[in-house]
């Protein structure tokens, strides 16, 4: 069964029974979407959000918000403004790491984009420390027992010619954050068995499991023609489990689609069926809250079962 066929079957059953859209205060006139997961730091629960005007694209900032109620967050006054897209957080060797995509312009046009990385113990004073390869988004980090796991996401015509898919995911282990560099990311060997011809995707949040495997919340995407002949870029929330010894996938499943979340407008027509995963957090009832950007305009939450059940509890994750 192809992935689009699997998605169609998932949409028919739609197992997600509870979902919501997050509210953000303090940035009126702007959309907040493609956020990090909510995380605890020094006793306060925060989230980093991508902030952008509805009519603009690739002109966004990442801002820090504090949880102020159920599914409600408020801008932290005076907090740093990062010229980034699609933030993520990790805790590596006791330090908070913030990453995101920086878009570089030349002569009023997009020249390239790359991952920027910041770290520190003081959330009000994170320090920039490295940059990823040009033309690569969705680099993700996870603390391991023997170092730092690094996930890459090469994309482009060379990838298409060599692999058939529009992107691939790579994985490597480095000893520490000081070893994170564009060259180290570029050298990450391919993870096998993720994307078919024409598909693309990447990792959004990574978790070390008790088994030694790594659980990944990610996105899988493909082009499709929708109703009325509208071209669509379909994005789906997925999970998979990586065996880091041989870079192979042990389990891959659909977690949620656009139909799993409440209705909301899309930024542009081709993103009507787009959900860009942030990651999961553990609930008191043992289930998981899955967070995701919706159509490049807002951020959603859906309640799901543990996608890594059978592979051990999560032991490395922002808290």
Of the candidate ranges 34-38, 106-110, 213-217, 293-297, the one whose mean pLDDT is the lowest: 106-110
Distance CA 158, CA 164 (A): 9
Mean pLDDT of 21-30: 98
Label residue 48 by pLDDT band (50, 70, 90): very high
How much is the pLDDT for 208? 97
Distance CA 112, CA 34 (A): 20
Mean pLDDT of 197-210: 96
How much is the pLDDT for 75? 98
How much is the pLDDT for 228? 85
Label residue 317 by pLDDT band (50, 70, 90): low
Question: Which residue range forms the structural domain that includes residue 298?
Answer: 3-316
Residue 22 has pLDDT above 80, yes or no: yes
Label residue 40 by pLDDT band (50, 70, 90): very high
What are the two backbone dihedrals, phi and then psi, of residue 19, each rounded to the nearest 5 degrees?
Answer: -155, 165
Residue 64 has pLDDT above 80, yes or no: yes
User: Which CATH number covers residue 25?
Assistant: 2.115.10.20
How much is the pLDDT for 260? 98
Q: What does the pLDDT look like over 242-257, one tens digit per residue?
A: 999 989 999 999 999 9
Mean pLDDT of 88-111: 94
DSSP letters, the chain, are: --HHHHHHHHHHH-----EEE-EEES-TTSEEES----EEETTEEEEEEEEE-TT-SS--EEEEEEEEETTEEEE-TT---B--EEEEEEEETTEEEEEEEEEEEETTEEEEEEEEEEEES-TTS-EEEEE--TT----EEEEETTEEEEEE--BSHHHHHHHSSSB--EEEEESSGGG--HHHHHTPPBPBSS--TT-EEEEEEEEEETTS-EEEEEEEEEEEE-GGG-EEEEEEEEEEEEETTTTEEEEEEEEE-GGGS-----SSGGGTT-EEEEEEEE-TTS-EEEEEEETTTEEEEEEE--TTTTS--EEE---
Both structure tokens of 49: 């959000």
Cβ contacts of 227 within 8 Å, gap of 6 or more: none
Residues facing residue 206 across a β-bridge: 216
Number of domains in the chain: 1
Label residue 226 by pLDDT band (50, 70, 90): confident
Residue 21 has pLDDT above 70, yes or no: yes
Coil vs helix vs strand at 161 = helix
Averaged pLDDT of the chain: 96
Mean pLDDT of 284-294: 97
How much is the pLDDT for 107? 82
H-helix segments, 26-144: none
Residue 153 has pLDDT above 70, yes or no: yes
Distance CA 301, CA 279 (A): 10
Mean pLDDT of 76-89: 97
Per-position b or e across 115-143, b if 16+ CB within 10 A of its CB: bbbbbeeebeebeeebebbeebbbbbbbb
Asked whether the beta carbons of 275 and 263 are under 8 A apart, the reply is no
pTM of the model: 0.97
Burial class (CB within 10 angstroms; exposed 0-12, middle 13-18, buried 19+) of 97 = buried
Label residue 109 by pLDDT band (50, 70, 90): confident
Label residue 319 by pLDDT band (50, 70, 90): low
Place of tokens 């659980």: 215
Share of the chain above pLDDT 90, in %: 92
Label residue 263 by pLDDT band (50, 70, 90): very high
Distance CA 251, CA 104 (A): 36
Coil vs helix vs strand at 302 = strand
Asked whether the beta carbons of 165 and 158 are under 8 A apart, the reply is no
């Amino acid at each position: 069964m192809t992935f689009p066929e699997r998605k169609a079957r998932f949409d028919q059953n739609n197992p997600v029974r509870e979902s919501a859209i997050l509210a953000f205060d303090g940035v009126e006139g702007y959309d907040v979407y493609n956020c990090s997961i909510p995380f605890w730091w020094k006793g306060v629960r925060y989230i980093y959000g991508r902030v952008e005007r509805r009519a603009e694209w690739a002109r966004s900032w990442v801002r820090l918000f504090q949880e102020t109620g159920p599914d409600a967050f408020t801008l932290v006054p005076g907090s740093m403004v990062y010229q980034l897209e699609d933030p993520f957080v990790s805790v590596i060797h006791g330090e908070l790491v913030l990453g995101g995509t920086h878009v570089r312009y030349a002569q009023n046009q997009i020249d390239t984009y790359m991952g920027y990385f910041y770290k520190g113990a003081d959330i009000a004073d994170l320090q920039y420390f490295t940059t990823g390869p040009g033309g690569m988004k969705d680099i993700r980090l996870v603390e391991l027992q023997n170092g730092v796991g690094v996930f890459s996401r090469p994309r482009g015509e060379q990838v298409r010619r060599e692999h058939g898919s529009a992107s691939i995911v790579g994985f490597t282990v480095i000893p520490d954050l000081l070893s994170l560099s564009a060259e180290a990311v570029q050298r990450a060997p391919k993870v096998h068995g993720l994307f078919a011809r024409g598909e693309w995707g990447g990792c959004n949040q990574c978790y070390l499991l008790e088994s030694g495997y790594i659980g990944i919340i990610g996105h899988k995407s493909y082009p499709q023609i929708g109703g009325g002949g509208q071209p669509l870029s379909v994005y789906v929330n997925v999970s998979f489990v990586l065996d880091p010894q041989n870079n192979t996938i042990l389990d891959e499943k659909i977690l949620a689609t656009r139909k799993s979340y409440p209705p909301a407008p899309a930024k542009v027509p081709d993103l009507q069926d787009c959900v860009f995963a942030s990651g999961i957090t553990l609930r008191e009832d043992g289930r998981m809250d899955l967070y995701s950007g919706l159509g490049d305009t807002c951020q959603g939450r859906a309640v799901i079962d543990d996608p890594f059940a059978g592979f051990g509890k999560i032991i490395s994750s922002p808290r």
